[in-house]
Amino acid sequence: MEKIIVGIADLAVAHNPAVLVTIGLGSCVGISFIDPVAKVGALAHIVLPSIEQARNGGDPLKYADSGIEKAVSMMIERGCSQRRIKCKIAGGASMFSFGETMNIGEKNVEAVRQKLDELDIQILASDTGGNHGRTLEFYLENGIMIVKSAFKGIKEI
């Protein structure tokens, strides 16, 4: 089965069978999308909450709002129906303690949830928060996301 690596501020869209993998999620959030009828999935690795808050715009895949929009539009281009798309999310850890104002992980998770709600995309499962990094493997054949952490072991969501 093909393994596709998704980097930081990156996105991959693929047809089943494939495994989409992203490594080293700290405060970043990984969002897996699946349309079970079209058998197409996507995995986005977002870094920051909003492109609108970015001083000079930048790469839309870096941000929760624009990255999610891009993932959904790419899936629709491949024959998916937005009403059938479901997702799972993981990441958004608080990796450093700078006090409440600096918790980018929480802000990322909040921005992801807000954008998915706005697009009416259901979150089937999540593994967010904490203070540990994660690696994700998303299996398009069954929609299972494996969340691996050095400190918390392996979890299936």
Mark whether 28 is an active-site residue: yes
- The CATH number linked to 142 is 3.30.1330.200
From the centroid of its chain, how far is CA 33?
A: 8
Q: Is 47 exposed, middle or buried (0-12, 13-18, 19+ CB in 10 A)?
A: buried
- Provide the whole-model pTM: 0.94
Q: Which of 14, 28, 80, 109 is catalytic?
A: 28
Domain tally, the chain? 1
Tokens standing for residue 75 = 């899936």
Question: What domain range includes position 85?
Answer: 2-156
pLDDT higher than 70, residue 141: yes
The 10s digit of each residue's pLDDT in 8-38 is: 999 999 999 999 999 999 999 999 999 999 9
The 10s digit of each residue's pLDDT in 102-136 is: 689 999 999 999 999 999 999 999 999 999 999 99
